Amino acid sequence: MQKILGGLRKACQAYNLIEDGDKIAVGLSGGKDSLTLLAALKKYQAFCDKKFELVAISIDLSGGKSDYSEIANFCKDLGVEFYLENSNVFEIIFDIRKEKNPCSLCANMRRGLVNSKAKALGCNKLALGHHRDDLIETFLISLFFEGRLSTFKPKSYLSRVDLTVIRPLIFCTEDEIIKVSKDFPVLKNLCPADKHTQRENAKQILSTLEKSYPHCKEKIFNALIHSERYNLFDKIN
């Protein structure tokens, strides 16, 4: 957990992610990343020089088919208030609309639900568990599948809902998260598209590249977070 806390602290200081008086909602999917984020933020809260509140929000996309009891107990043990919102997102996407590429719509619907709950609870920030590998994978997804040079930011302000999204694990690797989350109550993913997504394809591409070009993930990451290294056209006349 020390490595995770070190990375989290570095991100918070580098991007001013947490400020005095913040009420932060942690988007708790039940996966290893969001559980690690919540546990790390709770530890960080104890020694951070900024005073902030934490709550956890889960969205049950399966319409009540998932068992969140262990997640609720995990939050209780940490001393964090837990809120569970039921939804029929999976039914809408897979049964009613029969989406062939469901991930984008699912993400939008899930974000809308968690944003609304966060605002209803009086939160001004939403913390998500995206880590370093997610940043790189999102860049590859945008490049190979959308023809764009794009990825998410450590800190983004959503003007439509007056909510700031922060990603405190941006400097942490997936391997580091796997090590600390072994004893966490990771929720089984009931999504029918699990392991059959563009993100999974991006993971495979990176794995292949890493074998041929060791440390290439680290170089991609450094290129993304250091804007002074960009050398792209602004506009072609």
pLDDT tens readout for residues 94-121: 777 777 677 777 788 888 899 999 999 9
Greater pLDDT, 145 or 161: 161
Which pLDDT band, with edges at 50, 70 and 90, does 193 fall under? low
pLDDT at 129: 97
Record the pTM. 0.91
Residue linked to tokens 């006349």:
237
- What is the arithmetic mean of pLDDT over 187-213? 83
Cα dihedral sign, 12-13-16-18: positive
pLDDT of residue 88: 79
Q: What is the mean pLDDT of the chain?
A: 91
DSSP codes joined into one string, 82-106: EEEEE--HHIIIIIIS--SS-HHHH
CB-based contact 118:23 (threshold 8 Å) = no
In the predicted structure, residue 190 carries a pLDDT above the cut 70: no
For β-strands 125-127 and 163-166, DSSP reports them as parallel
pLDDT tens-digit series, residues 50-63: 999 999 999 988 88
Q: Is 203 left (phi over 0), alpha (psi -120 to 50) or beta?
A: alpha
* C-beta of residue 137 within 8 angstroms of C-beta of residue 206: yes
pLDDT above 70 covers what percent of the chain?
A: 95
Rounded Cα gap, residues 212 and 77, in angstroms: 44
Query: Quick check: helix, strand or coil at residue 149?
Result: coil
Residue 97: CA count within 13 A, CB half-sphere: 13
Residue bearing the bigger pLDDT, 24 or 200: 24
Report whether 194 contacts 202 (CB < 8 A). no
Is it the case that residue 149 has pLDDT exceeding 70? yes
Over residues 73-89, the pLDDT tens digits come to 999 999 999 999 988 77
* Look-up of token digits 């997640």: 71
